[in-house]
Amino acid sequence: MTTPDQLRDIVRHLQGRVRLVTDGEKTIAFNPPTAEEMTTAGLDGETASRLTSASWWPEMVGDVIETPEYAEPEATAEVVLGYAKDVIQEYIGKRFPLDT
């Protein structure tokens, strides 16, 4: 059973891997870790495996990267980066509620 703290740690770890690419555009880079990489980083291995093998995982990764396409044109790069990190919280929060 995954605890809320374990899940929060994984969400923070994933959000920490989201980067803003400075190429003149608002571009997001996200290199999602493997379950093994998350376990090596001290995160819960069972939860990491469940997440990375979930049918929606590739969709979440794609949505993180595509965040700039859905942001308002006047949104700053930092705001877009925040939106991209929020995508991770939203996907995981809907499937692994933190209020348990």
Model pLDDT for residues 11-23, shown as the tens digit of each residue:
999 999 999 987 7
- Which pLDDT value is given to residue 22? 73
Report yes or no on whether pTM surpasses 0.95.
no
- Cα 96 to the center of its chain, rounded Å: 13
The model's confidence at residue 2, banded by pLDDT at 50, 70 and 90, is confident
Q: Are 57 and 38 in contact (CB under 8 A)?
A: no
Look-up of token digits 């700039």? 68
Look-up of token digits 């929606």? 56
Q: Are 34 and 18 in contact (CB under 8 A)?
A: no
pLDDT in tens, 31-90: 999 999 999 999 999 999 999 999 999 999 999 999 999 999 899 999 999 999 999 999
Q: One-letter amino acid identity for 91?
A: Y
